[in-house]
Each structure stands twice: as C-alpha cells, then as structure tokens.
Structure 1
Amino acid sequence: MKKDKAVIVFSGGQDSTTCLFWALERFQEVEAVTFDYNQRHSLEIECAKNITKELGIRHHILDMSLLNQLAPNALTRNDIEVRDGEEGGLPSTFVPGRNLLFLSFAGVLAKQIDAKHIVTGVCETDFSGYPDCRDIFIKSLNVTLNLSMDYPFVIHTPLMWLDKAKTWELADSLGAFEFVREKTLTCYNGVIADGCGECPACKLRKNGLDEYLQNRKEF
C-alpha cells in the first residue's frame, strides 16, 4: 500500500521523469520542484510544466537565479561551449553547488508540506565526473539536512547505480518508456525527445537507448 509524501527534484529530462514515475508508484502523494537558474534553455522549465500538468502533479518553480550569477558555465551562458572534461577535469556543463542547493531547498519545501521523502535523478554510473552526483555526497547531505532541520528526511536516488541502458529499462518497467522518449528534454541544445544527436547529453541518451533496444530485441 502506498504511503507517505515525496518531493521530486524535477527538470523535465529523461532521468528526473523516470524518477517521477518511480515515485508515483511508491508514494501516496508526489509534488515536483523545478529550479529556475536562468539555464541555457527556458524550454526546460516549460517541458517540466507540461509533464507535471499532464500527470496532475503539483509543481513548484523556485527562483535560483543567484546560481547563474555565481557559477557561469555552459548551462548558464550561451557563449561558453559545451565540452567534456579533459585530462580528468570537469566538463564545462558542471554547475558548482547546483545539487547541494537544489536538494537543500527541496528539503526546505519538503518540510513545509510535511514530506519526508526527497527523490532525485543523480547517478554515479553515468555522472560525467560531477562530484555532486556521487553516492557519498548524497549520503552526507542527507545527514546534514536531517541535522539542520531536525527532520527525518530520506533522499532517494533510484538511478544511482544504473547506466543509461538500465535507466531506459526502468522507464519501460514503469510503463513510461514512450512517455520518457517523446516528452522529455535532455539535449543541451534544447531539442525535445531524441534531441540534436550531437551534444554529450544526447549521445549518452542515444547510446543507452540503442543498447537497451538491442537487449530487449535479443530477449
């Protein structure tokens, strides 16, 4: 039987939408929170709005524009090229402090609406080197949030140990494969669904999709 209430950190992308369906299957009530930090494509927020509206999910949009001011990078500046990290460096799409701030504010919201569960789509398997997507960071922040507000938060990371093929498999098992494929925005160039096919996010998404479809065909 479903119980409890959850807040999901929601961008409208493949990962967070898969996590949204995961949460809907497990919790009695789910609310989504999207952060507006003047990201490269405002379409990301519109996509999140459309998905939550279609699924009947209460949707909070919080202003995090200060993050744009403090942390210029390829996701907040059109004049910074999207590129992978070189020689162990971080990719240009890394936003310092993003998940720290997002999850902290999601925790504040969760406490206000009496939700003990926070869901996020971070993943250490396909994390592009982002330090704030690691399991050790999430576990540490979970403790910190609980201590900071004296509240029993549980941060859930359904995708933490899944590669992109396994993430597609999870979406399929939740009955959300076509929904995720057709209605989410992962592309750094702002192209919904299968994306531009050229940016790092699209390549990662497509490689995982191709692998999953091949595996599904074989079995």
Structure 2
Amino acid sequence: MSQKKAVVLVSGGLDSTTVLAIARSEGYACYSISFDYGQRHRSELLAAERTAKVLGAVEHKVIKLDLRAIGGSALTDDSIAVPEEETGGIPVTYVPARNTVFLSIALGWAEVLGCDDIFIGVNAVDFSGYPDCRPEYIAAYEVMANLATRAGAEGNKLHIRTPLIHLSKADIIKQGVALGVDYGLTVSCYQANDQGEACGKCDSCRLRKQGFVQAGIADPTHYQSA
C-alpha cells in the first residue's frame, strides 16, 4: 500500500513547522508549499526551505505571488508600519484574503498529487485576531473545496487539517519539541532582518516569547541586537 500524501502549508514560522512535524508523525508523505507574496519578512522563505528539508518533505515548492499589487497590510505595504504595541480588533498585519489565496493554490496542487489532506497551521487561541484563522472559516473552506474540485465531485473527500487550531502557543511548542522540532531554525517575526533575526517587539514576537515562557522551554529565537 502506498504512503498517504499531504500538502502542508509552511511559512518558516513556529506554527507551520510544528504542523509539518505533526503530519510527518502521522505517517504522511509531506509536500510542503510556501508563498513568496511580497512580504516584508522574506527571511521566512529561507526558514521554510530549511525546515522542510530537515523535516523530510518529499518536495518543497515556493509559489511566487504579488500581493503587494493590492496592498492593504503592513506586511505588503512599506508605508504601513508594523505595530509594536498591542492593538484592538483586526491588526494592520492582516493580509487581505491571504489564507484563501494560499489554500486555493495548495488545493490545486493536492488535486495534481492525488492528496486528500491539506495541513495548515491556523490557530484560534494565541493568534492576532485574523478572521481566516477561525474554525468556521476552515469548515466553510472545506465545503467549498469539495464542491469546486474534480476530486470532490468524484467522491474523494478533501480535508483541511488544522491540528493547532485549539492549542495555546505553549502547547504547540511542547508538542513540537516532543516531535524533535528545532525552533531555532524558524522565523516568526513580522519584521525580521535578512539574517532572520527577530525584532522581539511585534505581535508575532510577543506571542512566541510568551509561548516559550509558559511552556517552560528555553527560547532559541535569534533576536536582533539592541
């Protein structure tokens, strides 16, 4: 019997790297996919390539998109500053329709590969308030995926797997460490420098730092010097 396949969305960050390790531990042959979408924190793409290799992805693709063409986010528009203090509501680091765009491309690759499973590291507990990280969004997208594809029409049910969606950042870290993830290879910062060093101030850095403290695990993140 051939090994089951999965497409895994990887950004090079803590959450998606943990998801790749989980998929591998569940026996999947993992095909990882990242997106060069014009994000300001481009060192994450190198981190995604590193972690995909270390965690044994069968193949790693980087898809080039230009979300700077529409802007609307601090991650794709240099005129919008990345906030370094907590803000209410949906933050300016939200990228319009990003997960919908990414999942749609991953869905196409899954059809080509004959995969029934797509893994994504969305989280509805320790997250920044992004609407496309909510369980109801994922459930709705899975319904759409099965309506919109040949695979779904022919009865091969497609699943969007979200193993982190109800976990705290601390629990995600604990699970990743148990699976042998080296978080020193990952980049989560919204404004990391070219060496992948984190600012330590943005929302993503704050959540990551807090997660390691709450997990009681030493933080291996490489931070920029003061």
Q: Output the TM-score relative to the length of structure 2.
A: 0.86
Q: Give distance in 2, aligned partners of 1:200 and 1:3.
A: 38
Partners of 1:6 and 1:175 in 2: how far apart?
A: 20
Q: How does 1:5-24 map to 2 (within 5 A)?
A: 5-24=5-24
1:107-141 deviation line (CA, Å, top 9, x unaligned): 00100011111000000112211100000000000
Counterpart in the other structure of 2:31: 31
Deviations 1:65-86 (A, max 9, x none): 1x22123311112331112674
Displacement, 1:194? 7.5
Aligned to 2:224: none
Aligned counterpart, 2:186: 184
The structure that is helix-richer by fraction is 1
> Contact conserved, 1:194 with 1:202, CA < 8 A, in 2?
no
SS at the partner of 1:20? Answer: helix
Q: Distance in 1 between matches of 2:180 and 2:24?
A: 12
SS at match of 1:143: helix
Paired residue type of 1:157: T
> CA separation of 1:193/1:165 partners in 2, compared to 1, >3 Å: closer, same or farther?
farther
Q: CA RMSD in A?
A: 2.0
**Stretches of structure 1 lacking an aligned partner (at least 5 in a row):** 215-219
Same amino acid, percent of matched pairs? 38
Contact residue 99 and residue 132 of structure 2 kept, 8 A: yes
- Paired with 1:141 and 1:165, the residues of 2 have a C-alpha distance of 27
TM-score, normalising length: structure 1: 0.88
The one of the two structures with greater contact order (alpha-carbon pairs below 8 A, sep at least 6) is 2
Aligned length: 209
Q: Which amino acid aligns with 2:45?
A: I
- Residues 28-177 of structure 1 mapped to structure 2, 5 A cutoff: 28-57=28-57, 58-65=59-66, 67-83=67-83, 86-87=87-88, 89-150=89-150, 151=152, 152-176=157-181
Partner SS for 2:216: helix
Structure 1 residue runs of 4 or more that deviate by more than 6 Å after TM superposition:
none
Corresponding residue number in structure 2 for 1:217 = none
Amino acid at match of 1:60: K
1:200 aligned residue: 203
Distance in 2, matches of 1:166 and 1:213, equals: 11
